[in-house]
Chain A
Amino acid sequence: MLRRTIKLLFVSALLAIPVIALAVAPDLKPSPPATQAQVAALQQAIRAAQTSGDNAWVLVSAALVLMMTAPGLVLFYGGLVRRKNILGTMMQSFAMMGLITVLWAVIGYSLAFGAGNGIIGGYEHAFLRGVSLAPNPNYGGTIPEQTYMIYQLMFAIITPALITGAFAERVKFSSMAVFLCLWSLIVYCPLAHMIWGVGGILNIAGGRWPVLDFAGGTVVHITSGVSALVCALYLGKRVGYPQQNITPHSMVLSFIGAAMLWVGWFGFNAGSALGAGPLATSAFVNTQFAAAAAAIAWVITEWMQNGKPTALGAISGAVAGLATITQASGFVQPMSALLIGAIAGVVCCFMVFRVKRFFGYDDSLDAFGVHGIGGTMGALLTGLLASGAINAVYGNDAAGNPLATGAIDGNWRQLLNQSIGAGLGWAFAIAGTLALLFLVDKTMGLRLTAADESQGLDLSQHGEEGYDLNS
């Protein structure tokens, strides 16, 4: 009797376990609406995570590019001029930081990146109407459009600032400000629109002649460099040039400025990936490689010519390499970047040492020799060396392989496109700059009087002294 009871209890217990387990177990099969909500929430979280990484990088890059203007360019140019002109030179770039920002907010961004036509954008984004914190799929689909806008602003600031190098030490502050503001509207905005704006005739995505310009070799360096040449030719030489030795008053400042340009350029190039992914890495690596190769190439060229490697040569070489790699930075293999840098170092050195002296124009701080020529070379070398393996801009074929991008992939037509882009850059720069030079010169007068030029920009334009060592 007892044995039977125990057996009965034991079996009941065994049977009870699964029953109890089923009763307390969680519901393992949720109903469909809850699943969809969970998936949507996960997708949202993934997007937010991607945006946060991309947005962080592009915001930092924007700050780096602004740093390139001040203190980078401000010190670089400042050190190269005579002491009496240091503040004036710095003020020229700083003025751009203030004026171009306002202009960009009011109308510049719209003209560059609004819809408009193939050459110039429209007015739909005047006062940044419609430019919100939501991403614009055409301009960096994972970052707020305002991030894109502010990033592009930093480019719009530094481009006219580069031109000031050509007319250093001899132009009125007021006229310079008016000239460069107008320049940014009629030269910079159209080029930015044509190459980067939706519907632009040179836009890589759907333009009539798709041009590869990753970070602005054409938009920034060709436009500013060529405009610089036009300014130098129109305004004429500084008093005493070239008979007098007009030498830098502080190579120390220039050196520091150039170093800041180099570091800031990572924001200029790698930030143009508009995201924190592998393309940014590619551009970052290419930037460094080109700068280093170019610095070495310039220094060796100079060493062989003159018997000594100068600091000015080293930093100019680095800047030349950086200007040249800008267009190619997100399209080429790292070894190509070394080659591009080496070419830039040698060619720009030759431009500045020989060609400038041969023609006799006073491009005071070599804005044309470095940026104009560097940018042009960069545009063409990009067409030559762009690789679909790095950046499949033309998409992939059926098998998933990137379609040919540059000449080394087999797409020789790209060289033609790059030339058209560069050509339009030169054309707009020459025409726009000449027109504005005439306009501003006839109405306001651009060049300083001989007395003011002799006194220096600091005192004549700003009533200040850069260094008052006795105070």
Chain B
Amino acid sequence: MVKIEAIVQTSRLDAVKEALVEAGIEGMTILEARGHGRQKGHTEFYRGREYSVDLLPKNKIELVVKDEMKDKTVSAILAAARSGRIGDGKIFISRVDDAIRIRNDERGEAAL
């Protein structure tokens, strides 16, 4: 099982969700996040003074999928989230030790 964490532009969230559903993913967690990579922030004004805001709003999608689904999922996300501009985001993949369904205590890949 792998955990896929994708940080994407907020404007791409709907497209990514649709792509994931189409790829056969049945569960995901979506978080509101702020951050930046190499993308500089923007400037705002307060009382005539310009200051930089470097925490930009993003969405983070967390998925745990079976190993064989990994490539399909990542391709779906990439296709939907990419705009070609700086600020598109990143995907991180890590191993998951276990998964448990709270309702009926199913374990392992059956819980996904």
Residues of A within 8 A of B (CB): 245, 247-248, 302, 305-306, 308, 310, 312, 349, 352-354, 356-357, 366
Contact = CB atoms under 8 A, between A and B. Distances in A.
Contacts of A352: 47-48
A413 B51 CA distance: 48
5 contacts: A302-B48, A308-B45, A310-B45, A352-B48, A353-B49
Contacts of B44: 247
Contact of A305 (B46, B48, B51): B48
A355 to B, nearest CB: 11
Contacts of B47: 312, 352-353, 356, 366
B71 interface: no
Given A247-B46, A308-B45, A353-B48, 13 more contacts: A245-B51, A247-B44, A302-B48, A305-B48, A306-B50, A312-B46, A312-B47, A352-B47, A352-B48, A353-B47, A353-B49, A357-B49, A366-B47
Interface residues of B, number: 8
A349 B49 CA distance: 12
Interface string B60-82: 00000000000000000000000
Contacts, number: 26
A245 B46 contact: yes
Contacts of B49: 353, 357
A352 B49 CA distance: 10
Interface of A is mostly: helix
Contacts of A302: 48
A319 to B, nearest CB: 14
B46 A306 contact: no
A62 to B, nearest CB: 33
Closest 10 CB pairs of A and B: A353-B48, A245-B51, A247-B46, A310-B45, A306-B45, A352-B47, A306-B48, A305-B48, A353-B47, A308-B45
A6 B40 CA distance: 121
A357 B46 CA distance: 12
B43 to A, nearest CB: 10
A128 B44 CA distance: 52
A26 B47 CA distance: 79
A352 B47 CA distance: 7
Contacts of B50: 306
Nearest to B50: A306
Nearest to A242: B49
Nearest to A310: B45
A78 B45 CA distance: 19
A248 B46 contact: yes
A210 B49 CA distance: 42
Nearest to A357: B49
Contacts of B46: 245, 247-248, 312
